[in-house]
Structures are given as C-alpha cells and as structure tokens.
Amino acid sequence: MKDLVLKVTAEGKSRKFSQMNVKADELGGIIINRSFAFEITDIKRSTLLVQVYTSGIFGNKILGQSKSILVSDLLKTEEECEISLRSEWYDVFSKDERKQLPCKILMQISVGVPQPEQNVHLFVGTWNVGNAHPADNLHDWFSTTSAYDLIAIGSQECEYSPRPPHTDCAKDWVATIKSAIGSDYKLVHGLSRGQMQLVLFVHKDSQNAISEVLNGSEATGIGHVVSNKGGICISLKFWDTSLCFLNCHFAAHEGQCEARNENYREIVGNLRMLSTNTDILNQFHHVFWLGDLNYRLREERTNDKQSFSNTASWDAITNKICHKEFNELLMMDELHREKEAQNVFYLFSEGEITFPPTFKMKRNTEDVYDQKRLPAWCDRVLWFSLPGFNVRQLSYTSIPSISSSDHKPVAATFALTALALPCDSKGDPNNDDMRWHVRFTALQAKNLRASDYSGSSDPYVEFFGQNIFQEVKSKVKFQDLNPTWNPLQDIPEIVLNTSSYERLKKDFIFVRIADFDYTSRDDTLGYGVIPLEGAAIAMADGGTCDFDAKISYRGCPAGNLTGTMQITWQRNVTKRKLQITKSFSIKTQILWHQLKRHITSKHIFSDKTS
C-alpha cells in the first residue's frame, strides 16, 4: 500500500500525519496513534474535518473524509472546562459528502475551555550512561509520591548494543525509560544525535495541552559536524506557555574550562528554533539546560593541567565529600566560578547542590570514586525564564544506587504555572483595523559591544515578535556604544496583531541590536525582550511604563536597553500607511502604463507619417 496520510482541519489550519508503507491488519484496520491540537477562536461556527488519502509519486488519492463536525455540538456550554469524549466511530464519505464509503475512522475528541492557569510539575533528568547497558529497572531515578505532567530525560555517551527485541540503541533506551515511568506516560518526542539522546514524555492527563513540538541540534565537535559534543533540544507549548529542553555534552578533561565555556557560547549563538531573528534564550518562556557539562573542581584559579590529578588533591576532595562539606567544594567548582563571573549561563538559575559529586565513580559502586580523575559535579540542571515567568525547584539530587556508569544520574523536579490565554476573537468587522499600538517615549542603550575596528559600533534596534503586525527598526546611531534615540524621529510605532487584553499583558517585544555596516552583513550586538505587562496595566490611566531589558550575546551580558513606553488602542497606523503606499503605487503604475502607451502610440503614428 502507498503512504497513508491523515489530515485534520479546523478554522483553515491543518495538521497531518503520514505513515509509510502501511498495511492493514487481518480485520482491515490501520492503527494511527496520533493526536492533533487546535486553538479554536470561533466556537459557534468552527468545524472539524478529517480526511484520509494516500500519497505516492503520482500524487494524492482521496480515500474519504468525515462530515464536518461542528465544535459547538461537542460542548454543553461555551464555558465548559476540558472534557474528553468517548472514542467514537465516524462514517467516511466521498469528497462531496454524498456517498458513504465502506470504512470508518475511530477518533477520541477532547474539547473544551482549559483553566486559565494550570500548575505543571516537571521531572528533568540527566545521565552520562557511560556507553554501558543501563539497569533494566531505573525506578530509583523516578521514585515519587506524585505524578509529573512532563518528564524530560537527557543522556550522553548513550551508545551500547541494543537488547532484544530492539534493533538500535535509541529504541532500547526509550523502552528502558518507559518501563520505569509506567504506562501513564506517552512519548511526546525523541531526538538522537551521535551519543546524545533527549526524550520527552507527557502524562496521559496532560497530553491535550501539548502542541508545536520542534527540535534542533548544534554540534561543537570536530568541524562542527561530528556529534561527539554539542547540544540537542526539543521545544513545545504547554497550552500557551513555551518550554525548551536542551541536553548538552561539553568538552571533557581538566584544564579545559574555557573550551567548555566556548561550547556553551557556540550552542546559544548558533542553535535556532522558532525564530531565526533571535537566540534560544530569548524566545521561550522557560529554558531547561541539562547534561554532562564537564565542569571540574580545581583548587586554584588556573587552567594549568599540571595542577591536577595529584594524590593530595584527590585525598583532600574525597575527605570533604565524606564530611559533606559541599559548600567548600562548590567554591572550587568551575561552573560556579564562571557563572559568577558572567562568562557562561548569564541569568540562569541552579538549585542548591546538597548531593556528592557525580563523577568519576567506580562502576558498580554507590560511593567509591576512581582515582584516575578528581571528583566533580559534571552533571547539572539549570533553568532560565523570561521576565514575569517563574519556576520553583522542588528537588535536586543524584541517584547513587544506579551504578552501571562512571557518572551518577541527576534528577531535578520543578513546578511552574502554564497559561491558557483567551483566543483572539475575529472581532467586529467594522473595527477590524483597531489594534494595540506601542509607542516609545524614551529609548537608550548602554554598554554595547564594540563591533568595528575603530572600537565602536553603529547600532540600531530591530523590534519583532509573533504578534507584531510588521517588524520595525530604529534609525542608526553612528559611532556610539551608549546611544539615545529620539522617540519622535528615530523609532516607528509598533502595531500588535493581538486584540485580547489578557494576551497583551503576557506578551513581549523581542529586540535585536545590530551594528550597521555599509559593505557587509550587519553584525548582531545582542538580543533581549521587553515585557508588555507593565505598560498594559499603566494604559488604564493613560500612563507610561519604564523598562530595563538585559541584552545578551551568545549567552553572555552585552549591555542594557532602557526606556519608557506607552500602549494605546487605536486604528492601525501601519495598515493605513501600507494602504496609502499601495494606492500610490497602483496610481503610479497606471500613470506609467498610460504614459508608455502614449509614447508607443506616438512612435507608431510617427512611423506611419514618415
């Protein structure tokens, strides 16, 4: 059979899933275990349509489709919270819906209005598996008295001979985790690059909240193409709250602290997900960074390799571990020092470390360190949130009982609030061009990076975002690392597409500060975000709101963007300008066309009279 495609459409948006080389079972059934999520803006008129067709080299062939399902018929009231309807067989018809076909589609539809705020519990784990078979039972890693909504597991050096019935290591690894967490969890997505794996699971009660799943990767290994080191990530939306999980493996060995720092900066600088205009730290509400970061313990602020691996240092460190003097050891931790110096993980948070170093362990032991390396907290979990969004860490620990590797697994649990914001209504057709407008009354950048050979920069600011009607730029300020823009002359008004006030309060304007260059591509000086909540609240009294956006470049501090802004509700000035420009362009084209015809006609007439 050809590839089978299932397509679901609602409000003009389609989701589809294809399954290659599908064969029916003995009862003629084909199982497609797939879920689709849609945001419905018009409950009364919206419909769902399911189509099934085959895809091949000669095009698509429709097998049939359901009749249109009215969303309002599935709800008792428009205010009803989310409900899951029973699985039901839906008849399949021809494309014109006149002829019923001899097949059916079994679907379970969940529909409703989710709670505006939902408490979400996350489990985030990281483990360098040591290229060895993990234990069949990893229950100790996930032991808990309560369920998690999401589970994210990052692994490194996860390459071993798969155990039957699995044919590759990635499938064996996913099956091992699934057996430990139980059947209540469904796989959201899995990503494998080289010896790194990242898998996300969602609890069955929360799976309807998941949408917009994306993935990406960045190699920092040899030539940036070999995935022996680097990062892989998966992002998703939990209702309207965006989450990104990034699993990394940094450069190994003592004396390589700066190489590890550079691994971090390369990943932040080069990895792109939702938007190519900004880095991964400035587009998700929450970023969880996990992995074998390989930062070591060193007694002095030196990268001299000769200062490591002596017996006296090993004895001193293991003695402190035995006495649980972790605070003293953390003063020797490279990541602690580099983060404090703002060389890496700028604005990231990490929970209190109250567990022993997780490397380098003797295999098949719980607490015996190998003298070949100094003990270290190589395996870490950190997080970063946009302004106004918060994460609460519930626990942060290692799992000594799992001993097949020279690393111990690390587990971190979190609680956060996921938002389900009101949909933007289609609005009154008579007021279709009414929009929120953002106007800056003051704008200044401070301590920008120098990008030119002269030791200065020619900065300007780009403003963009998912809900911005049209991206705008400020004027360029030449040779100035602390520029001030005139709000009346240098900065256009920003028009937002959203109409919901609740969405407005939780929205951001994303900024990119760039260095203008006459002869080549403009260099990025840094990225940042401006939250709109303060200005939205001040709007009620016609007031303004001050802001101070921290600018970062490759995950390190790169200045500040400060100013004052005001939000108003008015007709779309950008749309009017575009309409005027379009009208002028059309009139110009007509005049040019008439002039061209006149000249051509005159030329022909002249030929005839000559």
Mean pLDDT of the region 294-314: 71
Q: Could you tell me if 359 and 406 are in contact, meaning their C-beta atoms sit under 8 angstroms apart?
A: yes
More confident residue, 234 or 144: 234
- Residue 494 near residue 465 (C-beta atoms within 8 A): no
**Mean pLDDT of all residues in 427-448:** 82
What is the model's pLDDT at position 428? Answer: 47
Contact indicator for 271, 279 with CB cutoff of 8 Å: yes
Q: pLDDT > 90: what percent of the chain?
A: 59
Rounded CA gap, 467 and 448, in Å? Answer: 27
Kindly indicate the confidence band of residue 607, based on its pLDDT and cuts at 50, 70 and 90: very low
Residue 244 to residues 142, 200, 442, 550: CA-CA distances in angstroms?
A: 21, 11, 33, 20
Would strands 484-485 and 494-495 be described as parallel, antiparallel, or unpaired?
unpaired
The predicted pLDDT at position 32 comes to 67
CB distance 436 to 393 below 8 Å: no
pLDDT of residue 597: 40
CA distance 188 to 283: 21
pLDDT of residue 274: 74
The residue among 288, 220, 266, 260 whose CA lies nearest residue 376 is: 260
Q: What residues pair up with 568 in beta bridges, in sequence order?
A: 437
**What local confidence, expressed as pLDDT, does residue 482 receive?**
98
Instruction: Give me the phi and psi of 83, to 5 degrees please.
Output: -130, 150
SS3 of residue 81 by DSSP = coil
Among 151-155, 281-285, 409-413, where is mean pLDDT lowest?
281-285
Q: Check pLDDT > 80 for residue 475.
A: yes
The listed range with the strongest mean pLDDT (56-70, 546-560, 588-602) is: 546-560
**CA dist., res. 160 & res. 157, Å (int):** 9
For the cut 90, the answer to whether the pLDDT of residue 114 exceeds it is no
How far apart CA 606 and CA 610 sit, in angstroms, is 6
Lowest mean pLDDT among 22-31, 202-211, 248-257: 22-31
Mean predicted confidence (pLDDT) in 249-275: 93
CB 529 within 8 A of CB 549: yes
Q: Which residue has the higher pLDDT, 369 or 276?
A: 369
CA–CA gap between residue 317 and residue 337 (Å, rounded): 17
pLDDT at position 547 is 98
Q: What is the pLDDT of residue 603?
A: 39
pLDDT > 90? residue 140: yes
Residue 292, strand partner residues:
249, 379
- pLDDT over 70, % of the chain: 82
For residue 608, is pLDDT > 70?
no
Contacts of 309 (CB under 8 A, 6+ apart): 254, 372, 373, 374
367-410 tens-digit pLDDT: 999 999 999 999 999 999 999 999 999 999 999 999 999 999 99
Rounded-to-integer distance, Cα 229 and Cα 99, Å: 57
Q: What share of the chain is helix, strand, coil (3-state, %, to 5)?
A: 20, 35, 45
pLDDT at 439: 96
- Which of 425, 428, 459 minimizes the C-alpha distance to 551? 459
pLDDT at 315: 93
Average pLDDT over residues 408-417: 98
pLDDT tier at 237, thresholds 50, 70, 90: very high
Give the residue, 77 or 194, on which the prediction is more confident.
Answer: 194
- Kindly tell me if the per-residue pLDDT of 259 is higher than 90: yes
What is the pLDDT averaged over residues 509-524? 95
Confidence of residue 609 (pLDDT cuts 50, 70, 90): very low
**Contact between 299 and 332 (Cβ < 8 Å):** yes
Predicted confidence band at 604 (pLDDT cuts at 50, 70, 90)? very low
Note the pLDDT of residue 34: 65
Contact call for residues 90 and 50 (beta carbons, < 8 A): yes
Token couple for 430: 């008579």
What's the average model confidence in pLDDT over 534-560? 95
Across 211-215, 256-260, 379-383, 423-427, least confident range: 423-427
Closest Cα partner for 174 from 155, 194, 193? Answer: 155
What mean pLDDT comes out for the span 173-199? 94
DSSP-derived letter for residue 423 is P
Res 600: pLDDT: 38
Find the range with the poorest average confidence among 54-58, 432-436, 568-572, 597-601.
597-601
Residue 341: per-residue pLDDT: 97
Give the angle subtended at the CA of 25 by the CAs of 24 and 29, to the nearest 5°: 65
377, 221, 216, 185: which is closest to 284 by C-alpha? 216
Per-residue confidence band for 517, with pLDDT thresholds at 50, 70 and 90: very high
Task: Name the more confident of 592 and 505.
Answer: 505
The DSSP secondary-structure symbol of 204 reads: T
Helical residues (DSSP H) of 405-532, grouped into ranges = 501-505
Q: What is the pLDDT of residue 483?
A: 98
8 Å CB contact between 378 and 407: yes
What domains can be seen in the chain, in order of their start residue?
3-111 (2.60.40.150), 117-419 (3.60.10.10), 435-573 (2.60.40.150)
Instruction: Give the pLDDT of residue 596.
Output: 43
pLDDT tens for each residue of 340-357:
999 999 999 999 999 999
What does the alpha-carbon distance between residue 229 and residue 124 come to, in Å, rounded to a whole number?
A: 20
Give me the pLDDT at residue 598, please.
Answer: 41
In the structure, what pLDDT confidence band is assigned to residue 67 with cuts at 50, 70 and 90?
Answer: confident
